[in-house]
Structure 1
């Protein structure tokens, strides 16, 4: 009841301004003007939820003409009015990406760029976080560099992090004054260096792709330089609270999630103690999190650390070991990159087996807080995936079995009805001495044998027990052999057909188009099935894990 009374009280606070609020929302300047002439103080009043002022309501409603008129009536000090979240009218316009409204407000009071919200975020940070890059460049050009210093706010670190994430770095990165014991990094996202002569040449020759590539490389180089400077700043402090406020730990875990190898590697190599950080929400270390996110490259890097065994023995808040996390079903975005449910299941098994190889033997029998051992947890989490994989395997095998059986039947019959017929006296084929006839017989035999082999392989898939381990090697191997031999049988069948046509028609004009058409089925089959065959072969006989990786070498960088 207390909460209801509080809401009623807050709503009652807005009642005197209902007329003003409706006029602002509807874009009725006359109504707004009439109200403000009677109540001039209402220009900074909180007339809507979250303590929004009339100017903020006008910005949210998108009424540019109301915004201009209100800014004209308000003093510089009145424009500094904030809502309950510490948002000024400029911050509101920034979040909405309204460049013209922001420009209009700043024309009256440029100091608004220095007012942060209750989270300590300056307007320029809000702009880049919400993806409004051009507006961020404009706001950055008006924000004093001292506002980005660590002792003044967290905005400098947040701006750098978001600029890297959004790919919004400019053309230069400069280190700021080194008079402070820290390094501050200036991110010149407004500094758009252009070479007019070069641009004209690019346009003249129409090779804008080269220009884009150049800019991408420049941004990447700047990102690396900025990252190295940030690493030095992190090295200069061992205070956990300062690192946490600077989003160091969050950034490392984000780099693991995104697979940002360069960022992760630079941070860990420069700051060896960061390998021991744990995630606040679940208590997972960097190895556990890399396994959970299925980031094989970062996993390989961590396995090159001497601390690998200790990291692999730690558990999270749920009592989950690294092997439990290998058995946990990953995020759908990770699995979406792998085609087919069977290959997804195979990849999950590969992860489980790999983590099992680095984990201590006792971990295999450890129960988490849900009373699941690692393998039991894997089976539970992948129950639906295994069913989908079994269905996919059986459907594919059934379809291919029908095709293989038809080819075997046709090729078997073709041997006894050779082109040109048989000699009535000797019983031998009339064209038995022709080279094309030998080609026909050999191709026919190869097609028959390979199609029979493919049918046997697909029958093996259909009669498999479909245990979890079968998806690791057994089933994929049978599918690879079956698809390979089926592709070979279709190819040799078309060769046999073409040889028979050449024998019968000899030099007829129909030979070339017939042979050309004979290649169409082979081409179609290759286009449809060959990518799957390659993907399955690489997944089965290749490896995403680098077992020969050398221990990671740490480097020390002076400040």
Structure 2
């Protein structure tokens, strides 16, 4: 949820909120006060008077406004802008509580509910501002103001919820609770969850438990809204409206901020627990419908990394572990694709069931290990780790951890299977197999050294003294250990080919060896000049500035004296 409030040039006041979550509606709340052209009502004298009232309301100058009202009592209820706002609209948008208090005492009940061209009342402006004192002053005239709908038929409390004004929402809910319909409550409930106002959402649910599985006009339930949230413990502040924490807390109080985050996290967990406890009381088919429409919330939660939601859901309804989407992906597959390690760790807690997960394959035949080897495409997840070197390191760790967590067995090398009663390779006694194993080991070790060396170059501090000796040596070691695994890999391939096809394709052995050698030759041809230059520059450059052994003036040659 992104919310913004902007005041420009002292004349325009805008508040807009956009919803960008999949499956959720898109709302705009706009408050615009345009003083440049007051509502033309006849003579220029009236236009100038309206302009004076506008500036007085915008600046909170009640003395000026009161003087005008004493001379022209009818102007108290007048629309003073081209868009149809009254002075009360302007003062409420500018958050001048004293001005509003004086003005509402003079206005008629009907004028208090005047709407501008956008359809918003002055009370809508007060709700959008988030200033509770404004709302309380206006509510003294009657509670109907809080139930008078504004733009797109939205209630003021819903507007305040969209913008994340927790105090305003709590106050308005106390005042309007009995007048809200179930449709109003479920729509408000989704907005509250999107704005992290979990305490009020839980109050609504406990008072009306049936809303736990009710849907809003876009078929969203409260659980679907929660599934869209990212990891709530760490991102709860980031998802709050701009300026919210500055209003609630002292900017220098880190302790208060941590306490508030902890409290909001607990409120979110309590809300999820209560919702799911109500839903699991239904029959299985209804539960499946609840969590599957309009989109499957468990897979959305896994994609977003919402561990809290998944933990509570699976704890009370373990069958969710076996759910797969249209790609035959479980929540663990999706966690690997999006690199959410906390969700993948859950696989350790399901025992031998994880072995069943390993056989799940998508339409392209990929299992979990293939997904771990895929390049991460999400920019938001790539930016979690700074620097290409550390990103590569994290990707390698993901691949290794996936292998360990899945306990993948029954992976046969191309050199053949194992002897069933002993578990040893069938080609153990053959020289080609020993050559294959040695080549494979050399390739593994040297490639790892090469990778570590180049990573050390990438993460080096690049101090001036490092360029003299340390970095050139690392580059030489890296290139050397890069040559070796390529050659060893080709040797392992040739040995494996000989073991498998020795009896049938013997006549093709030489051409295949030649073809297998091409990558090695090509790589050496591309980099040998760099390799030689590095050796020459590193190990012979130190002698460039050594003094010549032969002196400039030889002692053996004596100049002739005439």
User: Which TM class, normalised by the smaller chain length?
Assistant: 0.3 to 0.5
Ranked by relative contact order (alpha carbons within 8 Å, sequence separation 6 or more), the top structure is: 1
Structure with more of its chain in helix, by fraction: 1
Compare CA radii of gyration and give the structure with the larger one. 2
Normalised by the size of structure 2, how large is the TM-score?
0.44
Normalised by the size of structure 1, how large is the TM-score?
0.45
